[in-house]
Structure 1
Amino acid sequence: MENITIGEKYVCRPVGASKPVIGVVEKLYVNTALIVVSSCEEEDQVQVEACNRRMIVSFNKIFTQTNVA
């Protein structure tokens, strides 16, 4: 996905999460992005907190841009 923008919010599935999350892109790498998770399912809450709400996402696991709060 070439149109990923730092500071924008996306629905994605980071490494270690069992369900999609909503997160803001903080940094872009070659094939991945670092996101700050703003919303996730209850079953992923422990994993998200263990990562200090920052998780790595492969570009092919970033699904859509969102304006959800």
Structure 2
Amino acid sequence: SLNSFGARDTLAVGDNTYEIYRLDAVPGTEKLPYSLKVLAENLLRTEDGANITADHINAIANW
């Protein structure tokens, strides 16, 4: 997937690392209700530049 906002990061827990997508990389998501934050995080994970674009992510962040 694309990473237009630089949101992709890793989280280390013990000996394991996990790929995460940080909502704080997208301005505006801090004011969203929890349910829309879940949707925004899903858009970050599935951004491909065709079906899901940075414009889609900005649209939900500025809802």
TM-score by length of 1: 0.28
TM-score by length of 2: 0.29
Q: Looking at secondary structure, tell me which structure has more helix per residue.
A: 2
**Bigger radius of gyration among the two:** 2
